[in-house]
Amino acid sequence: MTDVAGNHTVTVALKMLDPELAPPSYATLGDAGADLRARQETVLEPGQRALVDTGVALAIPHGYVGLVHPRSGLAAKHGLTVVNAPGTVDSGYRGEIKVCLLNTDRTETYTVSRGERIAQLVIQRVETAHFEAVTELPESERGAGGFGSSGTH
């Protein structure tokens, strides 16, 4: 199935736990993330984190995952981010999606309003790995280098 822009689409069953909230939606055609909204007002003091309900429960099809990403505007303007970004919503999960927000601002309190767009949900296909135990790994150019070893900038 495709949308009017020719993008592949998948049907995801949606249960709104708060019918007064807007369901997840894409701001513009072709966007990767659908906006999730806050179910309740939440005050975040500087450095504080909180689990914010969205009023949304989904049945994501097997072979897909929901990834909860921060909204760039909230991060840039107010220092709000998703602590475990991206948060993972597995296909077998049927509970309410909650977003763990963190106020990284050192001085300003931020109040999340009910209905405010707080995160983006990206639905992606996933592959399941078969992990095979070996005694040696094949060589690669990078090798075991990590934590900044691939460049100076």
Give binding residues as ranges.
Answer: 71-73, 84, 88-90
Q: Can you say which residues are annotated as belonging to the binding site for substrate?
A: 71-73, 84, 88-90
Which tokens belong to 146?
Answer: 């990590």
CA 63, CA 83: separation in Å to the nearest integer? Answer: 25
56-69 burial: b if 16+ Cβ within 10 Å, else e? bbbebeeeebbbbb
SS3 150: coil
Tokens of 2: 């495709």
One DSSP character per residue, 104-135 reads --SS--EEEPTT-EEEEEEEEE---------S
